[in-house]
Amino acid sequence: MRLDKWLKLSRLIKRRTVANEACDAGRITANGRVVKASYDVKAGDVLTLTFGERTTKVKVLNVQEIVGKADAVGLYEEVK
């Protein structure tokens, strides 16, 4: 699944266009390297999202096409 779509489904980023812009600006890395919105997300990937002073690091647990709001938090876990 594309990174921008996964970020929207996981509710880490509210809109897919915002996720796409964040990828284009180089604010999202996967496994330590900057990736584009078309990056294929796989379970086990470690994503780092940087917005201003805030940095969020998550590990991808699951990749699903259809996810309800309550199940969205099950797609990832925060990494310290």
For residue range 31-73, what is the model confidence (pLDDT) as tens digits?
999 999 999 999 999 999 999 999 999 999 999 999 999 999 9
**Chain centroid, CA 33 distance in Å:** 13
Residues in a beta bridge with 46: 59
Alpha helices in 10-78 (DSSP H): 16-24
What is the model's pTM?
Answer: 0.91
Q: Give the span between the Cα atoms of 22 and 41, in whole angstroms.
A: 16
- Token pair recorded at residue 9: 């489904």
| Other Cβ atoms within 10 Å of 71 Cβ, number | 13
Q: In this predicted structure, what is the pLDDT of residue 80?
A: 84
